[in-house]
Amino acid sequence: MILNLLAETDLAANPANLKIWAYVGFIGLVILFLALDLGVFHRDAHEVTMKESVMWSAIWLTCGLTFTTFVYFAYEGKWLGLGLDTPLYRDGAIVLGEVAGATAAIQYLTGYVVEKSLAMDNIFVIAIIFGFFAIPAKYQHRVLFWGIIGALLMRGGMIYLGAGLIMQYTWILIIFGLFLILTALKMAVIKSHDDPSKNPVLKLAKRFFRTVTFYDGQKFFTRRTVEPTYLTEPKTGRLVQAPAEPGTLSAKWAITPLFLALIMVEITDLVFAVDSIPAIFAITPDPFIVFTSNIFAILGLRALYFCLAALMAKFRFLKPALILILAFVGVKLLLLALPPYLNDMGLSAAEIKSIKIDPIISLVIVLGTLVTASVLSVLFPTRNREAS
């Protein structure tokens, strides 16, 4: 009763102050999803089948898209202050104002699609990492799960810092736009050679920490000095790990290849976050929309990996599509943020007005690019596959 009274008093004073509870509720929902994922559905290590990965991809996609409905009604009804005193782009500047439910829903959906499409490029690198460390298929989900936990924390921090910076220094949007365009040019011109063995963080880990070359089940750390053996359980027929032989356990812990792979996955997401965070800020400066669309896109990355990793070679036009999307959002940011600074510098006799591309147009362009790339990939498969 006291909490309700305090909430009503706070709401009367400034309803926007209740936004913190929207974040708390969303984070609680994410924690519940993750707890069910690891503690119930994937408690035992097993190889994720195509059927299972397709099912979970559909579940996460449904959750991400269904959240659009919540965003619409929450912003339309100003639940917990959402939509009130919200950062929005206006005339090349960021101001606080009211955001309608339809506008917020379109921004969320556009951001979700952009982040989801950029996450697909991440799958290429994760596949290379798993191949380099020869991660058994049944342990890959564990690496991806804890990799997602780290990604959520990193991206949450980056979004918090980014939202605060662009509110104080609008010119950062210009830096974001130029960075996205340069990234697109780099992806188009320079062929990527992702060799995990050359990563400096991996070299430092091996230099300063004890490592082993074998796997101790799905453990990240082990005291074993000899590779474990496995026995067949008579009743179930399952392979179970045999106890360590006397004298083969070390007093010190060592890092297994599974943890080294986790380090590489975290670094990979950090690198891709540097691209994707500016991309979502090109759509909206609203931190709640930025945060929720990012998180939902990441949550489905594990299932998407198992669903698409074996099929990515067929999508030969996916990378060009991602390049176009990055370039588009970069140009969108420059059209929005650059004109006021050009006017202040007196580079044009006539005043140049900021151009804000409508969220619906952005959504159509992003979806159209992805659909076109998918269709072309099916119609014109890679020459290597045709030759084989």
Give the pLDDT confidence score for residue 63 in this predicted structure: 93
Average pLDDT of the chain?
A: 81
Q: In which residue are the tokens 């939202």 written?
A: 163
Give the pLDDT confidence score for residue 7 in this predicted structure: 46
Task: Kindly report the pTM of this predicted structure.
Answer: 0.79
Q: What parts of the chain have a pLDDT lower than 50?
A: 1-12, 193, 385-388
Give the pLDDT confidence score for residue 388 in this predicted structure: 40
Give the pLDDT confidence score for residue 181 in this predicted structure: 87
Q: Hey, what are 327's tokens?
A: 């370039």
Alpha carbon of residue 227 to chain centroid: 35
